[in-house]
A = this chain, B = another copy of it.
């Protein structure tokens, strides 16, 4: 059994449907990869629950030894470069034995260009 939890981290929105989109994406990722991870869940940086802090607590309660955050962001702005790492640093101090890592943000993926082009074909 894996002891790694994945945490999809989105900005969070005042618009409930946008947060629902993140939950739905998390559910799709869970269906694809649940056999590989202890848990796959989502968290919001602000404006919605669960917070990154609460979500990491939840991973620890479930027995995670490692948490990998996947930033669902398009650009390497303040949220990616500063806010998420700061949240992680706080939790790392709280759980010194937990391995917490932050993956590259979505927008940095080489595959984005191909996806954008695939959207053309669906129009």
We find that the number of chain A residues with CB closer than 8 angstroms to chain B is 44
- In the complex, the count of this chain's copies comes to 2
Known: A106-B115, A109-B118. 20 other contacts (CB 8 A): A8-B116, A17-B75, A17-B77, A21-B74, A21-B107, A22-B75, A25-B112, A29-B116, A32-B114, A68-B123, A72-B116, A73-B74, A102-B123, A103-B120, A103-B123, A104-B122, A105-B119, A111-B111, A111-B118, A112-B115
Instruction: Enumerate 15 A-B pairs (CB-CB under 8 Å) in ascending A order.
Output: A21-B74, A22-B75, A25-B112, A25-B116, A29-B116, A29-B117, A32-B117, A33-B117, A70-B120, A106-B115, A106-B119, A109-B115, A111-B111, A111-B115, A115-B115
